[in-house]
Amino acid sequence: MITSDSDSATDLKNAEPAVFSDAEKDVLVIISELEKEVGYIFSDKELAQSAITHKSFFNENKDSGQPVSQHNERLEFLGDAVLELSLSHLLMDQFPHVDEGVLSKLRASLVNEASLFQIAKVLNLNHYIRLGRGEIQSKGAEKPKILSSLFEAILGAIYLDAGFEKAQSVVNGIFKELIKDIKNIESIFVDYKTQLQELSQKIYGITPKYKLLVSTGPDHEKIFQMEVFINDQVKAQGSGGSKKQAAQSAAQMLLEELKNERV
């Protein structure tokens, strides 16, 4: 929790009471609940508001009087860098004798869309994203891309609000538990495609198929979106910096769904 120094406390004491519209009050309630989940209280609530605002909500409401100043895509861009640097520090600290190549693979496995989606779900971030009507109807609050981007945007907002050390502290609090019990670091690099193939053959008697949906970005920084499907019905999507990474991400998504259905 952030504490103010004496000057700030005096300023707050002498400040006029803030007056909020009903819509602004609703957003402040959402932000308050979000702060409890991530373990950080924003000084600048407008940064938090931007972090939870999807572009679809912004486009629909920017001229409506709703409290919306920015959407979260720029914060996502910043949060991605904050997350990678924070995890680099954490992994070097936790695995002092592991070489760079293995650390890079480990970091990549922690920051891929599938992993961040799972973390976002654990933090209940699907309850706090502000979406446009179309995204609400298409269940945008359950989409891996939207929730993983939301998580990164929140980290970007924390960085702007309080600096790198505070953002790093939040990252450490979330990820330290995920990696502290790793005994054999090589064992975490799971081949999700192979696992999915084995489970698919066991359940359906067939192997999954993969399809490239789209690739975006410049040649040196492309992002690939892949879909995996079984019987043209059981489907999942994933993205990554290569077709192989995107396929692994999609396989991980579908594998989690199938395992949850069998619980």
Query: Could you report the per-residue pLDDT of 75-126, keeping only the tens digit for each?
Result: 999 999 999 999 999 999 988 888 888 888 889 888 988 889 989 999 999 9
44 is catalytic: no
Distance CA 157, CA 173 (A): 17
Which class is domain 20-183? mainly alpha
Q: Which of 76, 152, 161, 227 is catalytic?
A: 152
* Class of residue 247 by CB neighbours under 10 A (exposed 0-12, middle 13-18, buried 19+): buried
181 is catalytic: no
* Residue recorded with tokens 């019990």: 181
| Cβ atoms of 188 and 202 closer than 8 Å | no
Rounded to two decimals, the pTM is: 0.66
Query: Would you place residue 65 in the very low, low, confident or very high pLDDT band (cuts 50, 70, 90)?
Result: low
What is the rounded (10 degree) CA torsion for 18, 19, 25, 31?
A: -20
pLDDT tens digits along 176-202: 877 876 645 555 556 788 889 999 999
Q: What is the CATH number of domain 190-262?
A: 3.30.160.20
Q: Which of 80, 113, 135, 161 is catalytic?
A: 80
β-strand pairing of 209-216 with 234-240? unpaired
Domain boundaries, the chain: 20-183, 190-262
